[in-house]
Amino acid sequence: MEWNDVRIFLAVARSGSFGEAARVLGVSHPTVGRRIKVLEDEAKQPLFRRTKDGLVLTDAGDTVRALAESMEDSALSMERRLTGNDQRLEGILRISSADWFAGYVLAPVLLELTRRHPAVVPEVIASHRLLDLSRREADVAFRIVPFSEPDIVQRRLMRISYGVYASAGTKQALQDDPASAGVILMNTAQSHFPDVAWVLERFPLCRRAFRSTNRSVQAQMCLRGMGIAVLPRPLGDAVSGLQRIDTPDEPPTRDIWVGYHQDLRHMDRLRAMLDIADMMLSDSAAAQ
């Protein structure tokens, strides 16, 4: 079984279609079909069956998947170790973080990184999704929760303060008639975030006007008068036209954690970025 065929097989198994697997891998639809047929000919039995919901694995396919994932783990481990031993200060550094953190907190760090090391190319994957570092979906990640995956080197980098923000019109409406003002929240899946409960408790008369997983989108809707929003201070303070509302107590703070797979601990471009982040962002740096 060739590694390229293994990658195609796993992509089909995970996506449930030849077309989606082709898109993910950057190959043609017929190529995917041909390689799956080769695997099925070698196995002398079908590995997938068609259903109304897409392709699903047969019993033989389940057996092949276990072997394929073992091969994938070995290949990824080799890739991580080879990449982790790369001591050249050049190449792509893939960074995962929330959109607002990349744009309003991390940006000066990346600018300084490229100033010092022009051959390093930061690639920011701005998403609220927690990427899999063991599969090299990213080299390093910044999160508001500690990492739970195995083999991750992590530490708390800094603490982020939050504030309540509004447009001038919303701020006036809040003073005149709180029930006429809206409140902007995280989406339902993230309704457990501490700032959601906090703002609903502090502003019980405000109607729920808008939800989004994206803090930058929340800031823009807040600016346009959709309602008040709890935003990270680096974002809210930077958006011209937003006014911070004084409250008896501040919204809950959040810790920022940085982590990377242990196999990448010797990657020089990663270490260079982390050193700069510590110098510019860490709590100890802010206290100086």
pLDDT of residue 86: 53
Place of tokens 């937003």: 242
How do beta strands 140-143 and 48-51 pair? unpaired
pLDDT tens digits along 110-127: 999 999 999 999 999 998
With 70 as the cut, is the pLDDT of residue 210 above it? yes
Q: Which amino acid is at 175?
A: Q
Choice among 15-24, 218-227, 231-240 with the minimum mean pLDDT? 15-24
pLDDT of residue 173: 95
Rounded average pLDDT over 76-103 = 78
Rounded average pLDDT over 219-225 = 98
Q: Which two tokens stand for residue 198?
A: 């906090």
With 80 as the cut, is the pLDDT of residue 287 above it? no
User: pLDDT-based confidence at 81, cuts 50/70/90?
Assistant: low
Q: Which two tokens stand for residue 255?
A: 């810790």
pLDDT of residue 130: 81
pLDDT tens digits along 26-75: 999 999 999 999 899 888 899 999 988 889 999 888 888 888 888 877 77
User: pLDDT-based confidence at 4, cuts 50/70/90?
Assistant: confident
- pLDDT: which is higher, 250 or 130: 250
Q: What is the rounded distance in angstroms from the CA atom of residue 275 to the CA atom of residue 143?
A: 18
With 80 as the cut, is the pLDDT of residue 141 above it? yes
With 60 as the cut, is the pLDDT of residue 285 above it? no
With 80 as the cut, is the pLDDT of residue 94 above it? yes
Q: Which two tokens stand for residue 46?
A: 């079908």
**In sequence order, what DSSP letters do the residues of 128-162 get, joined into one string?**
SS---GGGTS-SEEEESS---STTEEEEEEEEE-E
Q: Which amino acid is at 76?
A: L
User: pLDDT-based confidence at 135, cuts 50/70/90?
Assistant: confident
With 80 as the cut, is the pLDDT of residue 82 above it? no
**In sequence order, what DSSP letters do the residues of 74-140 get, joined into one string?**
HHHHHHHHHHHT---S-EEEEEEE-HHHIIIIIHHHHHHHHHH-TTEEEEEEE-SS---GGGTS-SE
Rounded average pLDDT over 180-204 = 95
Choice among 101-105, 145-149, 162-166, 181-185 with the minimum mean pLDDT? 145-149
| Full set of structural domains in the chain with CATH | 3-62 (1.10.10.10), 88-158+255-281 (3.40.190.10), 162-252 (3.40.190.10)
Place of tokens 């550094």: 93
- pLDDT: which is higher, 56 or 284: 56
Q: What is the rounded distance in angstroms from the CA atom of residue 133 to the CA atom of residue 70?
A: 17
pLDDT of residue 71: 81
Average pLDDT, the chain: 90
